[in-house]
Structure 1
Amino acid sequence: MPPASGRVPPALKCLIASVTVLSLLASPSVATAASQSQRGERTGCSNATLPPSPVDSSEVPPPGEPTPDPLPVPDEPLGGDRMGECGLVAPPQAPPPPREVGAAGWIVAELGSGDVLAARNPHGRYRPASVIKVLTALVAVRELEMSDTITATRADAAIEGSSVGLEPGVTYTVRQVLTGLILQSGNDAAHALARELGGRRETVRLMNGLARRLDATDTRAATVSGLDGPGMSTSAYDMALILRAAMNNAEFAEIASTRRAELPTPPGQPPLRIASDSDVALNYPGGLFGKTGFTDDARHTRVVAAERGGHRLVAVLLRGEHRPVDMSEQATALLDHGFRLTERRRVGELVTRRTTTSTTPDTRRTEESPRQAAGSEDPRGLPPVVGFLGTLLLAALAVLTAVVVYRRRTR
């Protein structure tokens, strides 16, 4: 207790003030904001926390809904220290990357081992456009049976953006709708799958839950199709991580290997013939997969994969332009570069701490991970309530100890 005069010794005042400050800093929101600011300053990356500013109003939240906060930036970059670099990340004395590859963020990695062979700003946050459909499709193959049926609606056919050509009133299997999603990037197919999964909001929730379980910490879906929306972001590293998980799913891999297909049409009409819209998937030697994307805010995006000499590589390009050459040529040049680097030292790895993929088809999965169920964690890895209450208890003990010591000394 303080002396009867009511004066608190300076040392005790200082201790109490320090404990108060520490308690405030221990609050998840304050600690997260401070930690993100420090990490942004330390890395010096212009897109360490957010994609570039949008050019239109597509990311303005609906009336009454708040603007999403930036996703937390991990204390340590996933995949290794070099994955936190902003510029070119390459093995020592490696040949330079192709000059024609002008994407703001890119990566080339081994699908099997997960070794990252080279990258540029791998954790830089950009918008995915339609390449996020890889995540949409992975959710669908995990949650739905391929033989289930979906009857297309007028709302499916009227959806904005690219379309595979689903006809209202025509019934398709889930596999056929997924084929249209992957081969021709059909937004109508994404809309139909989202209806089957419980609606747009539920599907976005499932997508973001799966991204968290894969440790895709730069990724937040706002739409099921890749159209820009509030808070939408990903990174080259994350998209490589997501495609690796998808290609380890037998159902996804089988559909991804399809180059041409036929879809049902109304009675009396010939089948609808579709083909992959990826030049890499169609024409690159050993091409395994190709997904294209574009929006005004995202610019051009690509996710491609190919196999050569026993190596299966994924290449991701985000925020690119059709210059100095077409984006398909940039993607093939990056794959060629990756195959030249396969015997060199890796610069990082695709890491998933909570493995949820397998080489066999997944059954329906609706469970949430412990992290998802508990909510977002504080920077120390504790649930917010536990971390904050623990800090308050420590602060109270510190104050009590200081008071006891002071009383003994005054006596």
Structure 2
Amino acid sequence: MTIGFSPRIAMSTCALCLTAVLAFTPVTATASTGSDPSTQVHPHPGAPQLPDISALSWLVADARTGEVLAAHDAHRRLPPASTLKTLFALTVLPALPGGTRHRVSEQDLAGIGEGSSLVGVEAGHTYRVADLWRGVFLNSGNDAVHVLAALNGGWDATAARMQAKARSLGALDTHVISPDGYDTDGQVSSAFDLAVFGRAGLRNADFARYCSTAEAEFPGDGSSYAIQNTNRLLTGNDGVEPYPGLIGVKNGYTTHAGNTLVAAARRGGRSLVVTVMNPQAGGGFTVYEEARELLDWGFAAAGRVDPVGSLDALRTSPRPGPA
């Protein structure tokens, strides 16, 4: 029986009557590294060895089935930075038609955190909702998030709806305070939960389209200007080699979160989703290289490892992932 992860305990069971109790508990894992009990993987003989990953928490899962192929401290609660925008999009996208036009007010933009990433939304200008979503996914614009949250009933109401959405998906490590992912005391998520959000997002055609867009035009004063996705595995910017078959999803950075990334890729009819939270080695682009290594490992390990958990384990009504 495949079950979810616990941040503290490792055990296994095959007793069906204990499912409810053990929904939070991982099966015992034999790490191919042989050293860290927080690393969980069940390799077959001859399976590729896990790469050496410095991130505080990470996870590799099959995006279609939800089977977790390997993970490290997957329920560790950490600041998510802008990867929390995946949950924001899951919650708000269905409520706001992309063609809706909105004239932005000063009040819509009130309360944006100091040092926030911005796409350039200006009060007094009229934007389509689709433009604002491109600002969220490509530029990680907290100004665009604030406007969309205002259209969704307000900042606090949106945070509450995001929290409810997380619980409905079985993402129990996430505590939402600031819908844009801005560093806020008590705001946390986990590699497990972020993988759940990324996988669920790919079921939504609009989400999938926005998160895989490398470049777009954003309305400006009298004319539009180019914006580019900050996910360097998608664009290949700043010397980061683009990943073949990358679908996208979302990257993030804040002072407290460090670099975070949810990435999905497709190869040979198989899709994987990985989460990498706060690498401890290298520079700011290490998060992309560690995600690359985990994706490579996941594709090479297909059929050569047993799952150690499921992204559906903690939700009440499991649904299939994207094709």
Question: In the alignment, which residue of structure 2 is the partner of 1:117?
Answer: 69
> For 1:131, what is the secondary structure of its paired residue?
helix
Change (3 A) 1:174 1:318: same
Q: Provide Cα deviations, 1:55-105, integer angstroms capped at 9, x if missing partner.
A: xxxxxxxxxxxxxxxxxxx9434485359x961111234433222x21011
In the alignment, which of 292, 296, 310 is matched to residue 332 of structure 1? Answer: 292
1:83-122 alignment runs, 5 A limit: 87-92=38-43, 93=45, 94-99=47-52, 101-122=53-74
- Structure 2: distance between partners of 1:355 and 1:139: 18
- Structure 2: distance between partners of 1:41 and 1:138: 29
Deviation of 1:195 (Å): 0.7
Deviation of 1:295 (Å): 1.7
- Tell me if the contact between 1:222 and 1:228 (Cα under 8 Å) persists in the aligned partners: no
Change (3 A) 1:150 1:86: farther
**In percent, how many aligned pairs have the same letter?**
35
Greater helix content: 1
Question: In the alignment, which residue of structure 2 is the partner of 1:306?
Answer: 265
Alignment TM-score, normalising by the size of structure 1: 0.65
- Structure 2 spans left out of the alignment, 5+ residues: 1-5, 11-19, 30-35, 236-241
Q: Which has the higher contact order (CA 8 A, sep 6+)?
A: 2
Alignment TM-score, normalising by the size of structure 2: 0.82
- Tell me if the contact between 1:249 and 1:357 (Cα under 8 Å) persists in the aligned partners: no
> For 2:217, what is the secondary structure of its paired residue?
strand
| Letter matched to residue 216 of structure 1 | A
For the pair 1:175 / 2:127, whether they are aligned, the reply is no
Question: In the alignment, which residue of structure 2 is the partner of 1:204?
Answer: 159
Q: Provide Cα deviations, 1:220-241, integer angstroms capped at 9, x if missing partner.
A: 1110110122321111111111
- Tell me if the contact between 1:158 and 1:188 (Cα under 8 Å) persists in the aligned partners: no
In the alignment, which of 262, 270, 277 is matched to residue 230 of structure 2? Answer: 277
In the alignment, which of 229, 240, 243 is matched to residue 184 of structure 2? Answer: 229
Question: In the alignment, which residue of structure 2 is the partner of 1:315?
Answer: 274
Change (3 A) 1:41 1:206: closer
- Tell me if the contact between 2:120 and 2:143 (Cα under 8 Å) persists in the aligned partners: yes
Q: 143-152 vs 304-313, which deviates more?
A: 143-152
- Structure 1 spans left out of the alignment, 5+ residues: 1-38, 44-73, 361-411
Change (3 A) 1:248 1:42: closer
- Structure 1: distance between partners of 2:200 and 2:218: 27
Alignment root-mean-square deviation, CA: 2.6
Deviation of 1:171 (Å): 1.1
Question: In the alignment, which residue of structure 1 is the partner of 2:83?
Answer: 131
Deviation of 1:157 (Å): 8.2
For the pair 1:241 / 2:241, whether they are aligned, the reply is no
In the alignment, which of 246, 271, 279 is matched to residue 287 of structure 1? Answer: 246
Change (3 A) 1:162 1:211: same
- Structure 1: distance between partners of 2:97 and 2:166: 21
Change (3 A) 1:355 1:145: farther
| Letter matched to residue 125 of structure 1 | R
Question: In the alignment, which residue of structure 1 is the partner of 2:315?
Answer: 353
Q: 88-97 vs 233-242, which deviates more?
A: 88-97
Q: 154-163 vs 279-288, which deviates more?
A: 154-163
Question: In the alignment, which residue of structure 1 is the partner of 2:27?
Answer: 81
> For 1:81, what is the secondary structure of its paired residue?
coil
- Tell me if the contact between 2:83 and 2:260 (Cα under 8 Å) persists in the aligned partners: yes
For the pair 1:217 / 2:177, whether they are aligned, the reply is no
Deviation of 1:152 (Å): 2.7
1:25-64 alignment runs, 5 A limit: 42=9
How many aligned positions are there? 289
Greater strand content: 2
Who wins on radius of gyration, i.e. which is larger?
1
| Letter matched to residue 287 of structure 2 | M
- Structure 2: distance between partners of 1:359 and 1:76: 23
- Tell me if the contact between 1:293 and 1:301 (Cα under 8 Å) persists in the aligned partners: yes
> For 1:302, what is the secondary structure of its paired residue?
strand
